[in-house]
Amino acid sequence: MKTKTAPVAASLLLAALATTALPAETLRNHFDADGIMRPPGFFDFAVLGAPGAARWLILSDLNPPSAPNCVSQTEAARPTDSIAAALRRNQVFQDGAVSTFVKRGPGRAGLLLRTVDEKNFLVVLADTGTGEAVLWSYRDGKPSELGRGRSPFERGWEKLGVTASGPKVAVLLNDQKLFEAADPRPAAGRTGLATAGPGNARFDEFVIEAADAPKP
């Protein structure tokens, strides 16, 4: 089913946060227990930035990092500035690490973090064809670039990660630092998978390592 998330609904979805801290923990999604051609469990879906349709499905793949399944945003004809988001339920953090594997191909794929609501979040998006990754900060709905780096995508799947500690943010590719940036307004928020604009994106092995996860 194609989903188009209204701004009010997204606000209610994303702003449901509290401030009680939980101990540090690691959460991992393999997607291998999810049903094929169904949305992944334990995720909420939203469209950020420009309006657009989005469709998240579990698919099988010939050689994903965790066989046999991966998750894909399959709606290819999307506006350039429209971000399709799959946000992990019941888990938020301000400081820690988040990573996923993305498959090389047409389109931009990446990670959301510190997602307070539909207008305030960080997103790193990598062009899986050229290997160029850009970290964006959205504040009150207005994007600003925090940093960028480039490394060729030489494998079928590449590991994209972000570490955050206060204002310090680092983007990693295959566990190697690609670039560093500063987040001027660090805040606790949800994290998840993201893809922007036209093209398909596939993800596997989504991992959150929260240093101080607020209780949702």
Summarize pLDDT for 165-177 with one digit per residue, the tens.
Answer: 999 999 999 999 9
Q: What is the pLDDT of residue 212?
A: 57
Tell whether the model's pLDDT for residue 54 goes beyond 90: yes
> Could you give the count of Cα atoms lying within 13 Å of 37 in the half-sphere of its Cβ?
0
- According to the model, what pLDDT value does residue 200 have? 87
Nearest to 206 by CA among 151, 141, 162: 162
Q: What is the residue whose two structure tokens read 């983007």? A: 171
Average pLDDT on 130-150 reads 96
Q: Say what the pLDDT of residue 154 is.
A: 86
Mean pLDDT of 9-25: 46
Strand partners, 208: 27, 98
The rounded percent of the chain whose pLDDT value lies above 90 is 77
Region 17-44: what's the mean pLDDT? 79
In this prediction, residue 210 carries a pLDDT of: 84
Element holding 181 (H helix, E strand): strand 176-182
Predicted confidence at residue 13, as pLDDT, reads 53
Per-residue confidence (pLDDT) for residue 6, from 0 to 100: 39
Confidence (pTM): 0.88
Task: Give the confidence band of 53 by pLDDT, cuts at 50, 70, 90.
Answer: very high
pLDDT at 25 (0 to 100): 76
pLDDT tens column, 100-123: 999 998 889 999 999 999 999 999
pLDDT digits (tens, 9 = 90+) for 156-166: 899 999 999 99
User: Residues near 154 by Cβ (< 8 Å), separated by ≥ 6?
Assistant: none
End-to-end CA distance of the chain: 27
Question: What three-state secondary structure class fits 70?
Answer: strand
